[in-house]
Amino acid sequence: MADPVKLTIDGREVHAAPGTLVIDAAKQNGIEVPAFCYYEGLTLQAACRMCLVEIEKTPKLQTACTVPVAEGMVVRTETAQVAQARKYMLEYLLTNHPLDCPVCDKGGECELQDMTFRYGVGESRFTEEKVHTPEKQFSPVVFFDAPRCILCYRCVRICDEGMGVKALGVINRGVVSEIAPNKGDHLECDECGACIDICPVGALTSGAYRYKTRPWEMTHVGTICTHCADGCKTTLGTRNDQIIRGNNRDRSGINGEFLCIKGRYGFDFYDHPERLQAPLVRKNGKLEEVSWSEALTTIASKFNEALQAGGSFGVIGSNHTTNEENFYLQKFARDVLKTNNIDHHRTGDVVTLLDALSGKQDKLATVADLYERKAVLIVGADLATEHPLLSFQIRANYRHHQAHVYVVTAEGVREDHYSAVSVRGRDYTSLRDKLKAEPELVILFDDSVKGEDVRKLVEFGESLGIPVKYIALVDYSNSRGAVDMGVTPELVPGYQPAQPGMHVHEMIDADLGVLWVVGANPLKKGGSRKAGFLVVQDMFLTETAQQADVVLPAASAYEKNGTVTNVTGEVQRLKRGINTMGAKPDLEIMGFIAREMGVAATLGPWVPETVFEQIRKTVRGYQVPLPVVATGGAAQTMPLNGRIPVENRPDLISSDHNGLFDSGTLGRYSKVLHSVLEGRLERQ
Ligand code: SF4
Ligand code: SF4
Ligand code: SF4
Ligand code: FES
């Protein structure tokens, strides 16, 4: 690595790597240079001239966002001349601005407003009539108010470079230049909202958030998106037990600022009018609202009766509920109900991957690896729609580090636009020579590769003679955690073998005495319950809940504490953002059932932190550093490094292949996701 460059900024001697831009060198040393068009990670635009600084021995002010550091350079960022220049630039940027801060969504967190205060632009010498154009709605999510736009092109660049969508551009010239969508008067894009979040002013605003609140009226809670398995951190803006918005502007998670539409806007299912807020018990054939105590007593006495009579139990868990809930549920099933009939909907072959990798170290890739490693091989998945964060990471890796991307998919995918090689079909072996020449590789595969095919893929990877890491793609926010926590009939937590019980499909078809479904909808595609007594914990009256004897209203991921494990095995903390009246976290519900049955002591406290401590002590791979998780970081689990003695059952694995605008049963209840889909259908 080349020697650092020595320079002086505002009288301080600092060092920076050669090639560093002056604006970044200043920032690295705690000196903020104002900027509108410059944005870390995006190409340079040099459009706004807010970042002007004095550099000794150069005749004019220079843009700090375009000049790289040089040995001996002397930079001054806050002189009278600089302040005057910035003041003029602001006056110019405000020429046509409507100055409607009191009603603008961005008020209070607007970069233009902040700079105007800072540089004291109190009056304007422009007396011409302002150009007014009415606000436009580009899509259900994206609104555009042209007069507020300062033409910094951040939105255009994030959509092109960050998202790989290129849905925004600029039309016209001069004072009538305007940001425009890709389809004439509307957008057809990922609806990710990245352009809205990155806009330094209130020109792009969100259909979900606009005019609802002011930023300082909200409480900001960092938690994890509950939709796909990628595990994006999202900061919920909440007020009066309502979620008003989601973003991750502090870049604190594994996703940096990235969120797809589901993470940024798809939280809105939580206040859908059909949300359950009271327990239901079937009476005379109909589900009727009852008190919590009546519902819990009904369940506890039925469970105890069945236990005493030696009846059969089946338990179906979820790939959305927390690790703590999954751990407690399997313990409940095994230690209290004395059954290994416990399972969940499996969406990727994690088990065979771990088994195939036994005896090898450091073989599981993280989300960060997709940004850092030199080459990536994607087998089967359309990442841009099914795993938006992973797709974003690979795109950023390609842009910033020129990573080589290899694609083996049945259909064309977004990664084709920058792949080194794209192969249609499933045969990756033709890439052998090219992959062997790479210094390192990450292989991602979806459920089109399962059972023996996973072993063949690992054999292939290991035969390349280069360091290879793997990711078995799964669908939901805790799909991975459900397997790790032993919500399977043949494995207890930590992939230790158990005397196998029934699988999901077998439980549905069996004449079980009791079937207990926690956060799943196994009858979604039709069919009737066979079990004598059916208990369902859910947020909505799903197809399965409609057939239940007792339905208990469950809290969503945004209404509880705990942890989830993402697709790459990274554990992160869920933090309660709001409360919804009547609903309880599944862990609490299970604890109450245990207490009502008189078995609470067998299971221990139903407090998330205590259960997580138990998980850390007993589940191999989960001895993760507590401070990392407790402070909102991601800690990669290291599952066991040995053979997993289970029979391969690829038939039990099927991904839902959710796209950008759906998300299993949950997606049905999101107004935002619906409005996007309906808009597209109407236009077809
Ligand atoms: S919402 Fe996302 S995909 Fe659509 S225009 Fe904005 S940045 Fe591009
Ligand atoms: S809409 Fe916002 S982000 Fe886009 S160019 Fe205008 S000010 Fe910049
Ligand atoms: S990529 Fe997945 S985890 Fe991230 S915001 Fe989208 S749905 Fe949520
Ligand atoms: S930030 Fe440097 S010109 Fe805009």
Q: Is 199 close to ligand 2, i.e. is its CB under 6 Å away?
A: yes
pLDDT at 647 over 80: no
Q: How far is CA 559 from CA 328, 333, 539, 676, in A?
A: 18, 25, 11, 25
- Nearest ligand by distance to the CA of 234: 3
Do 260 and 251 contact (CB within 8 A), yes or no?
no
pLDDT for the residue numbered 643:
85
What's the 106 CA to ligand 4 centre distance in angstroms?
A: 20
> Running DSSP on this structure, what letter comes out for residue 342?
E
Q: How confident is the model at residue 1 (pLDDT cuts 50, 70, 90)?
A: low
Beta bridge partners of residue 468, listed in sequence order:
441
Closest CA to 6 of 70, 65, 63: 70
HEC assignment per residue over 266-295: HHHHHHCCCCCCCCEEEECCEEEECCHHHH
Q: How far is CA 145 from CA 153, 206, 449, 623, in A?
A: 15, 11, 47, 50
What's the 152 CA to ligand 2 centre distance in angstroms?
A: 5
Do 158 and 189 contact (CB within 8 A), yes or no?
no
- Token pair recorded at residue 511: 């004449």
Q: Which among 141, 159, 257 is the best mutation to test ligand 1's pocket, defined by most ligand atoms within 8 Å of the CB? A: 159
- Nearest ligand by distance to the CA of 479: 3
What's the 564 CA to ligand 3 centre distance in angstroms?
A: 13
Q: Report the amino acid identity of residue 206.
A: S
Q: Report the amino acid identity of residue 542.
A: T
pLDDT at 187 over 70: yes
Q: How confident is the model at residue 175 (pLDDT cuts 50, 70, 90)?
A: confident
What's the 263 CA to ligand 3 centre distance in angstroms?
A: 5
Mean pLDDT (the chain, rounded)? 95
| Model confidence, pTM | 0.96
Q: Is 46 close to ligand 4, i.e. is its CB under 6 Å away?
A: yes
Q: Is 229 close to ligand 3, i.e. is its CB under 6 Å away?
A: no
Phi, psi (5° rounding) for residue 261?
Answer: -55, -35
pLDDT for the residue numbered 127:
82
N-terminal to C-terminal alpha carbon distance within the chain: 55
pLDDT in tens, 188-234: 999 999 999 999 999 999 999 999 999 999 999 999 999 999 999 99
CA distance 437 to 444: 19
Q: How far is CA 102 from CA 99, 120, 139, 143, in A?
A: 8, 18, 25, 18
What's the 394 CA to ligand 3 centre distance in angstroms?
A: 15
CA distance 5 to 243: 47
Q: Is 32 close to ligand 4, i.e. is its CB under 6 Å away?
A: no
pLDDT for the residue numbered 328:
98
pLDDT in tens, 542-586: 999 999 999 999 999 999 999 999 999 999 999 999 999 999 999
pLDDT in tens, 598-637: 999 999 999 999 999 999 999 988 999 999 999 989 999 9
CA angle 221, 222, 223 (to 5 degrees): 115
What's the 201 CA to ligand 2 centre distance in angstroms?
A: 7
CA distance 168 to 513: 58
Q: Is 225 close to ligand 3, i.e. is its CB under 6 Å away?
A: yes
pLDDT in tens, 317-373: 999 999 999 999 999 999 999 999 999 999 999 999 999 999 898 999 999 999 999
What's the 64 CA to ligand 4 centre distance in angstroms?
A: 7
> Running DSSP on this structure, what letter comes out for residue 341?
-
pLDDT at 256 over 90: yes
SS3 for 69? coil
Do 586 and 554 contact (CB within 8 A), yes or no?
yes
Q: Is 153 close to ligand 2, i.e. is its CB under 6 Å away?
A: yes
Q: Is 37 close to ligand 4, i.e. is its CB under 6 Å away?
A: yes
- Nearest ligand by distance to the CA of 259: 3
pLDDT at 10 over 90: yes
pLDDT at 152 over 90: yes
pLDDT for the residue numbered 122:
79
Closest CA to 231 of 114, 320, 99: 320
pLDDT at 463 over 90: yes
What's the 514 CA to ligand 3 centre distance in angstroms?
A: 35
pLDDT in tens, 40-94: 999 999 999 999 999 999 999 999 999 999 999 999 999 999 999 999 999 999 9
Q: Which among 21, 32, 33, 36 is the best mutation to test ligand 4's pocket, defined by most ligand atoms within 8 Å of the CB? A: 36
Which residues line the pocket of ligand 1, CB cutoff 6 A?
Answer: 142, 158-159, 163, 165, 167-168, 187, 189-195
Instruction: Give me the DSSP letters along 524-537.
Output: TT-----SSEEEEE
Take atom 6 of ligand 3 and give the residue whose Cα is closest. Answer: 260
Q: Which atom of ligand 4 is nearest to the CA of 34?
A: 1
Q: Is 50 close to ligand 4, i.e. is its CB under 6 Å away?
A: yes
What's the 167 CA to ligand 1 centre distance in angstroms?
A: 6
CA distance 536 to 542: 9
Q: Is 152 close to ligand 2, i.e. is its CB under 6 Å away?
A: yes
Q: Which atom of ligand 3 is nearest to the CA of 224?
A: 3
What's the 425 CA to ligand 3 centre distance in angstroms?
A: 27
- Block residue for tokens 């967190």: 109
Q: How far is CA 370 from CA 8, 318, 500, 507, in A?
A: 36, 27, 36, 38
What's the 403 CA to ligand 4 centre distance in angstroms?
A: 28
Q: Which among 163, 224, 226, 227 is the best mutation to test ligand 3's pocket, defined by most ligand atoms within 8 Å of the CB? A: 227
- Nearest ligand by distance to the CA of 258: 3
What's the 566 CA to ligand 3 centre distance in angstroms?
A: 10
pLDDT for the residue numbered 4:
94
What's the 334 CA to ligand 4 centre distance in angstroms?
A: 62
